Every structure is written in structure tokens, then in C-alpha cells.
Amino acid sequence: MWILYVILALIVLFLIVIVCRALAFKPKPKTPAEPEEVSFDRDGAVKALAALVSCRTVSYSEPEKEDGAEFDRLTGMLPELYPNVAAECSLQRFPDRGLLFRWPGKGSGDPAVLMAHYDVVPVEEANWDRPPFSALIEDGVMWGRGTLDTKVTFNGILYAADQLISQGFRPEHDIYLAFSGCEETNGPGAEHIVEYFVQNGIVPSFVLDEGGAVVEGVFPGVSEPCAMIGIAEKGQVNLEYSVASGGGHASAPGPRTPIGILSSACKAVEAHPFPMHITKPVEAMFDTLGRRSSFAYRLIFANLWCFRGILDKICKKSGGELNALVRTTVAFTQMSGSGAPNVLPSRASMVSNIRLNPADSVASAQEYIRGAVKDDAVSIRAFKTMEPSPISDTECDGWRKVCSAVAATWKGCIVSPYLMVQCSDSRHYRDLSDRVYRFSAMDLTAEERHSIHGDNERIRLETVGRATEFFIRLIKQC
Ligand SMILES: [Zn+2]
């Protein structure tokens, strides 16, 4: 009988502990917002963006499809759109459409680097409700490919600099405005700029590139707007799995066909998800947003020491963004066999795109997959690999400047670090700086996020103004 009392007492004690921990898991104070208003010509920012959007600066994986004249048209417009930048900053051009403006500061401290790209992904024009390069403005919205990704921040950086120069502002230290015109095809424009910095001993005080945004409803139990600033990004490796066979007629197949073997391999990989690993950016995110979540979720996030397993199961089951934050993910994307329905393939193959958690590497992921497939008939080859980025510092001035500009522009939002699950050009700074932040200066609805790389990409005009406002607030601290 006494054993029952002991068990009961332990259960009560356990409940008291987890409830007390959840109650003590209180929100941290929000980043203080600078109350000062900034004034600038908001209509001018919209006009400049429209001019950029009208250029068909589309990057293709087949470069012969690209229209070089459109890229030249855009760069040719810059002195007219941003005359003060053209007068005050030197411009250096790099191969693969890299552009680097240097805005000289008063002192000789480490410079800030503000990044964006001015190329865009292709469009399927037939699916669009408005022409994708018209920059048509209707009901307070501008339509066009690249409005969100990332001509708005390209314009925001340049327009903010232009307005500040016209007001007589000069930064304390140099600021580099670093732009690439081939980001969407993973081209080396940004890499050349990084090489230039390395060769000239230029070490940034911080780097800001595209990344998270101000979003709502992305974290369980949190309804307030959250500004998500990436402090690391996942890596990537593509694996091709192939099986060779003698081919032959489909009327008399052997006991195992190449596609059957690949299907088993695919099933085995999907049945062995990578283990959950909560890295520093995600831990920091749980610690910021988890504290502002509903009580049921706070119970989980305050007690990960005992609810890790439950979180792991929830993530595996739900898939999607939450799952992508806590583990390396595998998505099978391509498969090919023979050219005819009645011919056995002499070689069949499939491809998986793997996004690497910062705890994994290209090599460790390959080894894990080989262990899951366990079939010598399947050859595995890696291509287009990128290691995960290092994790950036959040205890420095660079981080605080970005956070304070965010908090002042989107008053009342929760500012949180997070792990970016996509790749950006900022990954090239891996050996140069541990102060690389990834934030696209916009507040985005779920629908708007969906239109990035999709059909009917468009931007609210107030978003264009706020992006510029953010860069003005940030640059004023540099
Ligand atoms: Zn993009």
C-alpha cells in the first residue's frame, strides 16, 4: 500500500515542478523602441521601387535565357533614382553582376555591410492576374516579380541612404551596400565581394541580408507579430541514388527491378528521420517565443528536459517549418527510369534535397543516409553541397542595432532569433564575420509569403515605406 502513496506523491511532485517552471517561464522584456519618428519622402520610395520592378532582371539556370540588357537597364537607372548615393558613394563593379557601394564614414572603425539582390526568379506569366513586370499600382498594392524578393530591400537600403545624405547625415564608420545580381541561381556575385573584403583586410562590424520577416501565427500559441531574425542558416546537400541494371524487356523482369530497389531505399530513408537536435538559434527562439505562448505550450517549452520526446513526435508528425527547425530534413524531389512503359531502365535514379541542421555536416548526413539505405545495389552521389553557416553572436552591438531598428519600425512586435531554413548570399561571409543577421525588412501575411517565388507576387505600399524606414533607423546607428 505504501508504494502507492510514494508513486502518488511522486506524480504530485512532478506536476508541481512542471507547473511552477511553466509559471516562472515569463516573457522577457521587449526590445525598447526608439520613440523618435523618421521623416522621408515615402512616395519617392514607391516610385523608385516601381522603376526597379519594371526591369526583367530574371536569373535562369541556363544563362543564355537571361536578358543582360535588362540588368544593364537597372544598374543604369541607379544614378537617377538615387542621385545622392551616386554623388557621395564610390561604386565598384564585380564579375557576375556584383555591385559594391562604399559610403565613407567619419571614423575608421569596422564597416557595416547591408546586402540585397536585384535579380528575380522566372515567372509563369499565364498564371498571373496582372503583368509581372508592370509595377502596376492598384488599391494600395504594387504588383510585380521581385517586389518582395528582394527589390524592396535593395530599394530600401539605397533610398534610405539617399534620403539621409540629402539631410546632411554622415555615418560614424563606413557602410558598404553590397548587391548581387545572381543570387537566385546561387551565382558567385556576392562571393567576389567577400573575396575583395578578405584581400583588403576589411572585417564587417555586422552584415545584414535577406531572411526572416515580421510575421504572425508562425509559433504555436503566440498571436502577436514576431520579427524573426536569422542568426544561422541551414546547409544543403543533394543526393542522387542510382541503380544500374542490364535493362531488357518488361515482359520477363528479374526478382528486383531498379525502380523497386530505389523505392525501398526511399521508404527506408523516410522511415528514418534525422534525430532532433535543438541548436542555439532554435533554443533562443523557444526561450523568446515559448515564454509568450499559451500556458499549455509554456508547459512544454519550460520543461523540455522531460517533454523533448513529445516535441520530437509532434514535429515528426506535423512536418513543415517547425520540424525543419529541429532536424536535418530530406525531401525526395526527382526520379527517372526508362523512356518507354515496356522497357526496364538500364539505369534508374532519384534525387533527395537535404537541408542540414547546424549540428550536421555534408559528410555526416551522407553517412546517416547510407546507414538508412543499407543496400549495396544503390550508389549514392552528392552534388551542389553547402555546409550549414556558423551561428552568429547575439551579445554584440551589431545585433542590438538591428533589433532596435526592428523594434522602432514595427512597434510592439516581439524580436526573436531563429534558424533560417533557406540559403542566402550571406553564407559567403562565414569565415569573415560571426555577426551575420538575416532579416527581410517587411511585415508579411501568410499569403504574401506564399507569393514569393510563386504567382502574383505583390507588395503593399506601406510595406515599401516601412522597409525604407527600417534602414534609415539602422543606418543612423552606424
Ligand atoms: Zn528569392
Report pLDDT for 133: 96
Taking the centre of ligand 1 as the mean of its atom positions, its distance from the CA of residue 121, in whole angstroms, is 7
Q: Which helix (H) or strand (E) holds 476?
A: none
User: Residue 252: pLDDT above 90?
Assistant: no
Q: Is 183 a catalytic residue?
A: yes
Q: Do domains 42-231+389-475 and 233-386 have the same CATH topology?
A: no
The CATH number of the structural domain formed by 233-386 is 3.30.70.360
Report pLDDT for 364: 97
User: Residue 171: pLDDT above 80?
Assistant: yes
pTM: 0.92
Taking the centre of ligand 1 as the mean of its atom positions, its distance from the CA of residue 168, in whole angstroms, is 34
| Local confidence band at 395 (pLDDT 50, 70, 90 cut-offs) | very high
Considering 174, 183, 209, 469, which one is annotated as catalytic?
183
Considering 119, 191, 233, 448, which one is annotated as catalytic?
119
Report pLDDT for 113: 98
Report pLDDT for 141: 96
CB neighbour list of residue 278: distance below 8 Å, 6 or more residues apart: 286, 304, 326
Report pLDDT for 28: 87
**Phi, psi for residue 361 in degrees, rounded to 5:** -135, 170
CB atoms within 10 A of CB 173: 16
Taking the centre of ligand 1 as the mean of its atom positions, its distance from the CA of residue 248, in whole angstroms, is 44
Taking the centre of ligand 1 as the mean of its atom positions, its distance from the CA of residue 190, in whole angstroms, is 14
Taking the centre of ligand 1 as the mean of its atom positions, its distance from the CA of residue 59, in whole angstroms, is 10
Q: What is the mean pLDDT of the chain?
A: 94
DSSP per-residue letters across 366-406: HHHHHHHH--TT-EEEEEEEEPPPPPPPSSSHHHHHHHHHH
Q: What percent of the chain has a predicted confidence (pLDDT) above 70?
A: 100
Higher pLDDT, 29 or 116: 116
Q: What is the pLDDT of residues 83-93, one digit of tens each?
A: 999 999 999 99
Taking the centre of ligand 1 as the mean of its atom positions, its distance from the CA of residue 117, in whole angstroms, is 9
Residues 184-198, mean pLDDT to the nearest whole number: 93
The set of cell numbers assigned to 443 is 511585415
User: Residue 181: pLDDT above 90?
Assistant: yes
Q: What percent of the chain has a predicted confidence (pLDDT) above 90?
A: 83
| Local confidence band at 386 (pLDDT 50, 70, 90 cut-offs) | very high
Q: Pairing state of beta strands 379-386 and 235-244?
A: antiparallel
User: Domain spans of the chain?
Assistant: 42-231+389-475, 233-386
Q: Is 443 a catalytic residue?
A: no
Q: What is the pLDDT of residues 53-62, one digit of tens each?
A: 999 999 998 9
The set of cell numbers assigned to 456 is 502574383
Report pLDDT for 36: 83
Which amino acid is located at 302 in the chain? A
* Contact (Cβ atoms closer than 8 angstroms) between residue 428 and residue 237: no
Residues 405-434, mean pLDDT to the nearest whole number: 94
CATH of 42-231+389-475, one of 1.10.540.10, 3.40.50.11540, 3.90.1150.10, 3.40.630.10: 3.40.630.10
* Contact (Cβ atoms closer than 8 angstroms) between residue 356 and residue 350: no
| Local confidence band at 170 (pLDDT 50, 70, 90 cut-offs) | very high
CB atoms within 10 A of CB 317: 8
C-alpha neighbours within 13 Å on the C-beta side of residue 101: 24
Taking the centre of ligand 1 as the mean of its atom positions, its distance from the CA of residue 33, in whole angstroms, is 30
